[in-house]
Amino acid sequence: MSITLTPAALERARSYLAASPGRIGLRFGVRRTGCSGWGYVVDLAEHAGPDDTVFDVDGVRVIVDAASLPLVQGTRIDFVKQGLNAQFAFENPNAADACGCGESFTTQVA
């Protein structure tokens, strides 16, 4: 399995990386947050660590730390615009439930 990006997410990632010299890709993972447990984290990466997994998605590197990988493996990342708002959106096959506000999710993975 891997991490995938839609064409809209690829375009947004490429624009972020072009505007940020020295960044090698997107860092994607999770952190404890919200009422359901896990929240997504997307940032620009300066380097990949020895325990990171690096996915190449049409020339864009997506770097995932070892602790996050089981929780996000197989996730499809999109970039959506709704009115004045624009954000990354996640279709995660590991997500078992999400909180009502959409900030966090739970998984069957321990």
Q: Where are the domains of the chain?
A: 4-107
What is the torsional sign of CA 30, 98, 110, 61?
negative
**DSSP E strands, 1-110:** 4-5, 25-33, 37-45, 53-57, 60-64, 76-82, 85-91, 95-98, 105-107
CATH number for the region 4-107 comes to: 2.60.300.12
Q: Which carries the bigger pLDDT value, residue 53 or residue 1?
A: 53
pLDDT digits (tens, 9 = 90+) for 11-67: 999 999 999 999 999 999 988 876 657 888 999 999 999 999 999 999 999 999 999
- Nearest to 72, CA basis, from 45, 32, 107, 36: 107
β-bridge pairing 76-82 and 85-91: antiparallel
Tell me what pLDDT residue 100 has.
Answer: 55
Helix (H, G, I), strand (E, B) or coil at 58: coil
- Rounded to two decimals, the pTM is 0.85
Q: What is the mean pLDDT of the chain?
A: 87
Tell me what pLDDT residue 103 has.
Answer: 59
